[in-house]
């Protein structure tokens, strides 16, 4: 299809195409995805906003360096399949990244169009275009497995089937090595499956992306908790020539408040796993329930807190309070998530901090005591430090609390493999370029190294590790 010729000035004048989405009233009654995605016409108009900059600062903002101008140009030309293939040269999970990447902090932050329109919100919507072509390819094109080189006879074990593990699996398999992924849960995807809710990332999309790996000949073994069933040493002494550890940051953090052990207090991980992986929203058709929650307090201001609050609404809660100790400007969650949560009716209790949880005579949480806060001087993170306002305590009535203040690294592998070095937060220490750990033959990447980070950063580390694993297996040099 021929592309219409436009001058840069004309391109700059095209307003961003806004994705149509379910109304807030409709969407809190279901778990379907909120935005509908671009039509072909909308995608081509949005793509025509790109100036095809020679220096392409957007590419430097992408942790896996997708050739962004090239894939956008193919959309302008109407070659949507070609565009998806171009992205897949460097990113095996575009339908996922297009949905969940914090684009406004990465590729879109540096976009020249956004800069000249003086708002990152007006940048070329690279993520939404990526999602469009990935969805188009899934829907309209025949799946094809990438070319796999002749077998090398070498075997690689990957521990954890999240985005980091899956990325390494693809890149190492392509070189002709045998790959086995050991996954503790009964499904692949890591946080993509058990953490991020269906209404942000439909699970069918994750499953389709994983099927592609299986077509490549990657074997995934489920219900395999490494560190319990086999140790890393047993993997290395047995069949495997190299191991990649990608066990993520799945250990929930708590606030150490009085009353945090009461019934009805969930970690965000448990709450979201019940809802997403075990599909509690369709109980009793599925096995795992969540007790009916009328008034819910969610502690935290990040993406996990937004996901928990919005999930609670969809499970029928009448009042969902998001308690956050700083102001909206300091909230770490993506702007889009905050906006969606607010539209759906999540009540933001900003500059307030929980101080204790109060239970009833049967041991169920019934109230949260909070204190008001004000912002003081900036702390080490550069954000203004929240300071309690004396004697400003108050209580809110709740029948559940979801603690969403973050996760730390899974300790099982470091605990059972003492010669793998960790830092003071329990993250595995790995070389920044090769992702080699202190133990010969063992590489690590993703959240287990970075601490709770992002999908694309985990994938970026996976790509680095795969290059180093392939080299190690071909030279034998550590
Ligand atoms: P994970 O995705 O955590 O995968 C690790 C896998 O290892 C899991 O499947 C786990 O079951 C398995 N495992 C653990 N221990 C063992 C063991 N001993 N043996 C075998 N298997 C094991 N990032 C974004 O970019 N955008 C978002 O919108 C976003 N939203 C998020 C929402 C929530 C609720 C959460 C919790 C995180 C979110 N993140 C988001 C962060 C992102 O999901 C993670 O940074 C990313 O998934 C890390 O990938 P990973 O492969 O390192 O680990
Ligand atoms: Fe942007 Fe993420 Fe896509 Fe890279 S992978 S181009 S950062 S949306
Ligand atoms: Fe296109 Fe923006 Fe990248 Fe320039 S910076 S090539 S306008 S997406």
Atom 39 of ligand 1 has which residue's CA nearest to it? 454
pLDDT at 382: 79
Q: Based on the domain organization, do 104 and 162 belong to the same domain?
A: no
CB 164 near ligand 1, within 6 Å: yes
Residues 93, 160 share a domain: no
Find out whether the beta carbon of 206 lies less than 6 Å from any atom of ligand 1: no
Residue 101 in tokens: 């990447």
Q: What is the pLDDT of residue 124?
A: 98
Q: Which of 182, 85, 229 is nearest to 70 (CA)?
A: 85
Q: Is the CB of 161 inside a 6 Å radius of any atom of ligand 1?
A: yes
Q: So what's the pLDDT on residue 462?
A: 96
Residue 467: its pLDDT value, please? 97
- Tell me which residue range forms the domain holding 418: 155-250+408-475
Ligand 1 mutation pick, 186, 191, 223, max ligand atoms within 8 A of CB? 191
Instruction: Classify residue 3: in a domain, yes or no.
Output: no
Q: How far is the CA of 3 from the centre of ligand 3 (A)?
A: 17
Nearest to 396 by CA among 307, 296, 304: 296
Question: Which residue is associated with the tokens 């693809």?
Answer: 170
Instruction: Evaluate whether residue 149 is within a structural domain.
Output: no
* Residue 34 belongs to domain with CATH number: 1.10.1060.10
Do residues 266 and 384 both lie within one domain? yes
229 and 282 share a domain?
no
Q: How far apart are CA 133 and CA 138, in angstroms?
A: 9
Q: In degrees rounded to 5, what are phi and psi of residue 181?
A: -100, 125
Task: Return the residue whose CA atom lies nearest to atom 2 of ligand 3.
Answer: 111
Q: Which two tokens stand for residue 57?
A: 């600062």
Q: Do the domain assignments include residue 336?
A: yes
Q: Specify the CATH number for the domain of residue 394.
A: 3.50.50.60
Residue owning the nearest CA to atom 3 of ligand 1: 248
Q: Specify if 134 maps to a domain.
A: yes
Out of 405, 427, 446, pick the residue that ends a domain: 405
- Domain boundary among the residues 405, 436, 453 is at 405
Mutate to test the pocket of ligand 3, among 52, 74, 117, 128 (most ligand atoms within 8 A of CB): 52
- Please check whether residue 147 lies inside any domain of the structure: no
Backbone angles phi, psi at 398, to 5 degrees: -140, 160
Task: Give the pLDDT score at 143.
Answer: 77
Burial of 304 (0-12, 13-18, 19+ CB in 10 A): buried
Nearest partner of 389 among 348, 349, 353, 357, judged by Cα:
353
Residues 232 and 268 occupy one common structural domain: no
DSSP state of 329: G
pLDDT in tens, 255-299: 999 999 999 999 999 999 988 887 777 777 777 767 778 999 999
Contact 27, 199 (CB under 8 A): yes
- pLDDT averaged over 10-residue windows placed end to end, the chain, 478 residues: 78 94 92 94 97 96 94 97 94 92 93 92 96 96 85 97 96 96 95 93 89 90 96 95 96 94 95 84 73 90 95 93 93 90 96 96 96 89 86 95 93 94 95 97 97 92 96 94
Q: 68 lies in a domain?
A: yes
CA distance 375 to 324: 12
Which of 160, 184, 462 maximizes ligand 1 atoms within 8 Å of its Cβ, making it the mutation to test the pocket?
160
Task: Write down how long the chain is.
Answer: 478
Inside any domain, residue 2? no
Exposed e or buried b for every residue in 127-152, given b needs 16+ CB within 10 A? bbbbbbbbbbbbeeeeeeeeeeeeee
The total number of structural domains that make up the chain = 3
Query: What's residue 410's pLDDT?
Result: 87
Residue 394 phi/psi, 5-degree rounding, is -155, 165
Distance in Å, CA 84 to ligand 3 centroid:
17
122: helix, strand or coil: helix
């Amino acid at each position: 299809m021929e592309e219409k010729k436009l001058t840069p000035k004309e391109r700059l004048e095209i307003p961003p195409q806004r994705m149509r989405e379910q109304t807030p009233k409709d969407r809190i009654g279901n778990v379907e995805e909120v935005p509908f995605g671009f039509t072909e016409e909308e995608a081509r108009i949005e793509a025509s906003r790109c100036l095809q900059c020679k220096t392409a600062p957007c590419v430097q903002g992408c942790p896996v360096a997708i050739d962004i101008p090239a894939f956008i140009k193919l959309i302008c030309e109407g070659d949507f399949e070609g565009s998806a293939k171009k992205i897949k040269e460097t990113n095996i999970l575009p339908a996922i990244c297009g949905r969940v990447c914090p684009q406004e902090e990465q590729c879109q932050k540096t976009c020249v169009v956004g800069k000249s329109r003086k708002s990152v919100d007006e940048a070329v919507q690279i993520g939404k275009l990526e999602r469009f072509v990935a969805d188009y390819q899934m829907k309209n094109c025949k799946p094809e497995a990438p070319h796999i080189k002749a077998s090398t006879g070498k075997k690689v074990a990957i521990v954890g089937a999240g985005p980091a593990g899956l990325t390494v699996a693809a890149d190492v398999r392509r070189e002709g090595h045998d790959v086995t992924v050991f996954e503790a849960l009964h499904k692949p995807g890591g946080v993509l499956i058990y953490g991020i809710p269906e209404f942000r990332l439909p699970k069918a999309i994750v499953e389709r992306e994983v099927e592609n790996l299986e077509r490549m000949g990657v074997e995934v073994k489920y219900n395999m908790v490494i560190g319990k069933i086999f140790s890393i040493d047993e993997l290395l002494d047995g069949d495997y020539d190299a191991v990649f550890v990608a066990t993520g940051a799945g250990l929930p953090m708590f606030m150490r408040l009085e009353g945090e052990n009461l019934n009805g207090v969930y970690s965000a991980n448990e709450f979201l796993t019940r809802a997403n992986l075990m599909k509690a929203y369709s109980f009793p058709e599925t096995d795992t329930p969540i007790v009916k929650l009328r008034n819910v307090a969610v502690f935290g201001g990040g993406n996990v807190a937004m996901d928990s609050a919005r999930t609670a609404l969809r499970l029928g809660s009448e009042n969902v309070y998001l308690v956050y100790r700083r102001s909206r400007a300091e909230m770490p969650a993506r702007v889009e998530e905050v906006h969606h949560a607010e539209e759906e009716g999540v009540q933001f209790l900003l500059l307030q901090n929980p101080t204790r949880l109060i239970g009833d005579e049967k041991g169920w949480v019934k109230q949260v005591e909070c204190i008001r806060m004000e912002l003081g001087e900036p702390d080490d993170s550069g954000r203004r430090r929240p300071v309690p306002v004396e004697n400003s305590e108050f209580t809110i009535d709740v029948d559940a609390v979801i603690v969403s203040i973050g996760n730390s690294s899974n300790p099982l592998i470091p605990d059972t493999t003492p010669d793998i070095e960790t830092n003071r937060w329990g993250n595995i220490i790995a070389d920044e370029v090769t992702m080699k750990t202190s133990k010969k033959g063992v590489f690590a990447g993703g959240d287990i190294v970075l601490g709770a980070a992002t999908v694309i950063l985990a994938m970026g580390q996976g790509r680095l590790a795969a290059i180093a694993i392939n080299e190690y297996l071909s030279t034998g040099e550590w």
